[in-house]
Amino acid sequence: MSVPAAVRTMAVPTVMAQLIVLIYNMADTFFIGRTNDPLMVAGASLILPVFNISLSLAVYRYYEKKHGLTSESSDGIKNEI
């Protein structure tokens, strides 16, 4: 699979997953904010980047296994990404 095709294949699910996570985080922050505890809100805000990175890696690994994503070096040898 070519790189542009792989990017197109992976882009839509990744963007959808990120939007869903964003909506959940906004809802969590709203309800946690109603407790008037700034440390709880800070905790919810700090975990978002960690969760986004883990979600991105999970989606990447899924598509890597499903589509067998590999890269070819200049000598024609296929290397797994």
What count of residues does the chain have?
81
Residue 44, CA atoms < 13 Å, CB-side half-sphere: 18
Q: What is the pLDDT of residues 25-42, one digit of tens each?
A: 889 889 999 999 999 989
Q: Name the domain count of the chain.
A: 1
Parent domain of 58: 3-80
Reported as a single tens digit per residue, the pLDDT across 44-72 is 888 888 887 887 788 788 877 877 766 55
DSSP state of 81: -
**pLDDT of res. 37:** 92
SS3 47: helix
Round to whole Å and give the CA distance between 64 and 13. Answer: 14
Whole-number pLDDT of residue 59: 77
Nearest-CA neighbor of 42 among 53, 51, 32, 34? Answer: 32
